[in-house]
């Protein structure tokens, strides 16, 4: 399946190792896509501001310990893309629906295959502050 949206916390070049190592994106698509995800029985998460997003991920290792290939990441021209993807970047994502069963529980998840970076917001965002006209300057304390 192919969907697009804005991402936060994209870990597509380097896996997120906070818990179990995964490549992942938190994708904020249109409301219509959110509705379709819910109809398919896929999990939809809500952030602190009330925004709904999709966690699309791929585990680094399979259950047997062998390694999964990382997701393919390309730019708008379908050329390999190696930069870090910052929050707010617009992307297209190709994923599969993966059904799982473990310890008596069943569910579905979105398995990350490919990411196309359509509009990059650089990771880190550059400077911390903008110049504030009529703000306090160091000379004010001299």
Domain count, the chain: 1
Worst-scoring range by mean pLDDT, 25-34, 38-47, 101-110? 101-110
pLDDT of res. 48: 93
Residue 99 included in any domain: yes
**Please, which pLDDT band fits residue 101 given cuts at 50, 70 and 90?**
confident
Host domain of residue 69: 2-125
pLDDT of res. 136: 59
pTM for this predicted structure: 0.81
Residue 142 included in any domain: no
Residue 84 included in any domain: yes
How many angstroms from the chain centroid is the CA of residue 58? 11
pLDDT of res. 135: 61
pLDDT in tens, 60-96: 998 899 999 999 999 999 999 999 999 999 999 999 9
φ/ψ of 99, rounded to 5, equals -95, 140
CATH number assigned to the domain comprising residue 60: 2.40.50.140
pLDDT of res. 11: 94
């Amino acid at each position: 399946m192919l969907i697009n949206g804005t991402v936060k916390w994209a870990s597509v070049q380097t896996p997120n190792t906070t818990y179990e190592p995964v490549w992942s994106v938190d994708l904020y698509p249109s409301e219509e896509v959110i509705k379709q995800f819910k109809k398919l029985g896929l999990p939809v998460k809500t952030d602190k501001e009330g925004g709904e997003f999709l966690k699309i991920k791929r585990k680094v290792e399979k259950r047997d310990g062998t390694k999964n290939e990382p997701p393919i990441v390309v730019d708008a021209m379908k050329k390999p893309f190696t930069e870090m993807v910052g929050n707010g970047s617009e992307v297209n994502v190709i994923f599969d629906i993966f059904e799982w069963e473990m310890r008596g529980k069943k569910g579905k998840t979105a398995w990350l295959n490919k990411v196309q970076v359509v509009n990059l917001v650089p990771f880190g965002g550059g400077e911390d502050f903008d110049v504030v006209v009529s703000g306090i300057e160091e000379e004010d304390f001299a």
